[in-house]
Amino acid sequence: MFEHPYLHHRLSTLETEQIVRAVERRRVIAERAEQIVPRDRIGARLRRLVHRGGGAGRAARAERRRLRRLVPAETRTDPRSMADAGSIPMATRG
């Protein structure tokens, strides 16, 4: 099937406008480099933590790793291997 020439014209026009905007943006950045303030990276890190849920999972894993190093392997108990669910207090059931 043949495409209408307007499609090609419109695409080339949009691409040209996009290139012109990019060139203008680069020119402004080059002219006013001293006015540009770099972003504070701590803000980006905080936003990332908020959107990820505060990083609680990573902190909990680090704490478990730290505790594993402190407690000998033969004295550890795995809460998932508890056969009797009735031994868990009511306050912690969820």
58 CB-near residues (< 8 Å, 6+ apart): none
Return the pLDDT at 89.
54
Could you state, in order of their start, the residue ranges of all structural domains in the chain? Answer: 5-71
pTM over 0.75: no
Return the pLDDT at 28.
93
> Model confidence over 31-82: pLDDT tens digits?
998 888 777 777 777 777 776 654 567 777 788 788 777 776 666 666 555 5
Query: In terms of pLDDT, which residue wins out, 4 or 14?
Result: 14
CA dihedral 39, 45, 49, 52 (to 10 degrees): 80
> Phi then psi for 3, rounded to 5 degrees?
-95, 150
Return the pLDDT at 19.
97
- Strand (E) positions, the chain? none
